[in-house]
Amino acid sequence: MSTVDKRYLELLDRALRMLPPRTSSGRRLEGIQLKVIVAGKRTMIQNFKELCSILNREPSHVARFLLRELAAPGHIEGDSLIIQGEFPRQRLIDILTRYIKNYVICPVCQAPDTILVKEKRMVFMVCTACGAKSSVKPMA
Ligand SMILES: [Zn+2]
């Protein structure tokens, strides 16, 4: 595994375990605690807001990415993300992993300590660890 892969898997793992950032590192993706309930043709991520706060990203941004990748409608309700349709947990994890790789991890130093900055029509990722400014893939 490359360093980048390792770092984002670690971050996802940390996020999904809902642990404070400092206690992490080296954990594996087993036994992750993304709380997913599928019922009545809807999929609910119950701890969605908490996940976003650990990733330090706007829930609306994470939701937009997830829903677009799933090609499904959905909305945020309280702490949960409600998605229309039934989706396996692993698929949600795969998409969140992609989100972290594209929008959270600094491509220069692989730190997860980044913020997204909008400039005109472009979005950049600014790393608070190394100061790098990188362009990110636009999200329709
Ligand atoms: Zn960096």
CA of 123 to the centre of ligand 1 (A): 16
| Tokens of residue 135, six digits | 């362009």
Q: What is the pLDDT of residues 44-68, one digit of tens each?
A: 999 999 888 878 899 999 999 999 9
CA of 116 to the centre of ligand 1 (A): 13
**89 in any annotated domain:** yes
Residue 21 has pLDDT above 70, yes or no: no
pTM value? 0.77
Strand segments (E) across the chain? 36-39, 42-45, 74-77, 80-84, 114-119, 122-127, 133-135
The residues with which 114 forms a beta bridge, in sequence order, are 127
Q: What is the pLDDT of residues 85-140, one digit of tens each?
A: 999 988 998 899 889 889 988 889 888 889 999 888 888 999 998 999 999 987 76
Q: What's the order of all strands across the beta sheet hosting 80-84? A: 36-39, 42-45, 80-84, 74-77
CA separation for the pair 63, 49 (Å, rounded): 10
CA of 117 to the centre of ligand 1 (A): 14
What residue numbers bound the domain in which 69 lies?
A: 3-108
**121 in any annotated domain:** no
CA of 111 to the centre of ligand 1 (A): 5
- Higher pLDDT among residues 59 and 32, named by residue: 59
pLDDT at site 140 = 60
**13 in any annotated domain:** yes
How many independent structural domains does the chain possess?
1
CA separation for the pair 76, 112 (Å, rounded): 24
**97 in any annotated domain:** yes
Output the CA torsion 105→106→109→111 (10° steps).
-50
**116 in any annotated domain:** no
- Contact yes or no for 86/41 (Cβ under 8 A): yes
Q: How confident is the model at residue 29 (pLDDT cuts 50, 70, 90)?
A: very low
CA of 126 to the centre of ligand 1 (A): 8
**40 in any annotated domain:** yes
- CATH code of residue 91: 3.30.30.170
CA of 127 to the centre of ligand 1 (A): 5
Q: Which helix (H) or strand (E) holds 17?
A: helix 3-17
